[in-house]
Chains A and B, each alone.
Chain A
Amino acid sequence: MASQILPLELIDRCIGSKIWVIMKSEREFTGTLLGFDDYVNIVLEDVTEFETTAQGVKKTKLAQTLLNGSNIAMLIPGSEGPEAN
């Protein structure tokens, strides 16, 4: 049988690495993952926020930031984000 890994165990292994966070709305964040809790509230460092609007993508640099888990849709471990490619 394949070894089981819980979803949050995978995220736990990403602490200290880059992560790409996609929200339920047209908003994304990248940064270094410092930690998270059971609600998947997430603490990031050296953050860039990407906000997609009709006018284009607005980028905002942020210092240490706590993201509310209730708006998070997806996490992509190890990714530098939408501009990586």
Chain B
Amino acid sequence: MDDSPRPPSNEQSPPPPPPQPQSQTGTPTDFLKGVVGKRVVVRLVSGVDYKGLLSCLDGFMNIALEQTEEHVNGRITNRYGDTFVRGNNVLYISADEPL
């Protein structure tokens, strides 16, 4: 691709670029966009923590994690390759590395 300015053309002008995703708006959606692919702590209502790499999630806060460690009372109690966590159990999702 050549990124020099294009000559003017008679073609229909391209649609305006989508609004720049603001890096520092703080809605839950913005947070989730920023945190996918990062290391996170997912704490369940029961107090159990799942630490791992956040693969993806949906609007119900259903979560897919990779390289998951289950922590109970500060001790690792299980390791899973991949994990699906049902969203209703989720208390919070917290970044475990700088965003």
Contact = CB atoms under 8 A, between A and B. Distances in A.
A30 to B, nearest CB: 13
Interface in A24-51: 25, 27, 33-37, 41-43, 45, 47, 51
Contact of B94 (A33, A35, A51, A65): A65
B4 interface: no
Interface in B19-76: 25-32, 35, 41, 45, 47, 61
Contacts of A75: none
Contacts of B31: 34-35, 43, 64, 66
Interface string B68-99: 00000000000000000001101111111011
Contacts of B47: 51
B26 A70 contact: no
A62 interface: yes
A68 B98 CA distance: 21
B27 A65 contact: no
A27 B98 CA distance: 25
Interface in A43-85: 43, 45, 47, 51, 62-68, 70-71
Interface of B: 25-32, 35, 41, 45, 47, 61, 87-88, 90-96, 98-99
Q: Which 5 A-B pairs have the closest CB atoms?
A: A34-B26, A35-B26, A65-B94, A35-B27, A41-B28
13 contacts: A37-B27, A43-B26, A62-B92, A63-B95, A63-B99, A64-B94, A64-B99, A65-B93, A65-B95, A66-B28, A66-B92, A68-B92, A71-B45
